[in-house]
Structure 1
């Protein structure tokens, strides 16, 4: 995976990105008053190889002018039907408001669909209002069964499902 969007480069995570990706996520969580949980909900960021690579998932970083400004990832889960969970979709403030989040979500969805998965799940917190709006406007439907302590919302979408396809 190596793609560009405006002045951003989206590429596969490398071990040298470990601390940089963790710092992006920690700083965005702090911005919204959420706790960084290196021994819990954020352990996957510190152990990408175990949580993503060894399970058939992917973890991407977003760079702008050589600086890591965001992350996005998914891995298979034992929930729903042949499902994955999109995780760690975070952008620093300077990377927001340019359509990058929506584009990143679409790229993740395309990668997931191309690998034959049927459902996409996402957990988030209501305080992350921009994320909630993005998921709801991208045809994710509220679901039940939040599994992450700091999250209070869970959404699900069937792969390939969009408003334009429903209209046909």
Structure 2
């Protein structure tokens, strides 16, 4: 069972009782940046974590602060690329930002993905999420093509594994 600590934040595996809290975090952050919550589209996966992540060999994590869910991060295997996953639903409420938690979360997701033998990570995001764009660009993600999520206008890829 995953239990990672970063300062006073607990990163742990999602449980069914987290469903509405995780959805609330994502809905809140999207609204903050002027993006729409799409429960029947791009955000259906957070409402159906078992189907979209757990049954496909992915993981969905929540971040707690003082017993409250304040963030999410997840990945699942995808068809594009080479032995690839897509990191999804990496969102932090304002109270969880500015401590380096986003970078730590990204590093922990990458480590988990690498340990499971995947070779590529894809990420889609929107330019308006400038903190996310900076995070990905400063951590080895290269711009790519093939955006699949309507509200996103950027896609990145990063290779993992043995480098020669």
Q: TM-score, normalised by structure 2?
A: 0.97
Q: What whole-Å deviation, never above 9, does each CA across 1:125-154 have from its counterpart, x for those lacking one?
A: 000000000000000000000000000000
Q: Following the alignment from structure 2 to structure 1, what is the Cα–Cα distance between the partners of residues 4 and 98? A: 19
How big is the alpha-carbon RMSD for the aligned residues of Structure 1 and Structure 2? 1.1
- Partner residue in 2 for 1:43: 44
Residue 160 of structure 1: CA displacement?
4.2
- Structure 1 SS opposite 2:88: strand
Q: What whole-Å deviation, never above 9, does each CA across 1:146-168 have from its counterpart, x for those lacking one?
A: 0000000000000148xxx79xx
1:123 aligns with 2:146: no
- Structure 2 SS opposite 1:97: coil
Q: Following the alignment from structure 2 to structure 1, what is the Cα–Cα distance between the partners of residues 52 and 155? A: 20
User: 1:29-108 to 2 correspondence within 5 Å?
Assistant: 29-108=30-109
Q: What whole-Å deviation, never above 9, does each CA across 1:10-66 have from its counterpart, x for those lacking one?
A: 000000000000000000000000000000000000000000000000000000000
Unaligned regions of 5+ residues in structure 2, if any? Answer: none
Q: Following the alignment from structure 1 to structure 2, what is the Cα–Cα distance between the partners of residues 159 and 96? A: 27
1:111 aligns with 2:105: no
Q: How many residue pairs align between the two structures?
A: 163
- Structure 1 SS opposite 2:136: helix
- Partner residue in 2 for 1:9: 10
- Structure 2 SS opposite 1:23: helix
Give runs of ≥4 in structure 1 deviating > 2 Å.
none
Q: Following the alignment from structure 2 to structure 1, what is the Cα–Cα distance between the partners of residues 161 and 33? A: 31
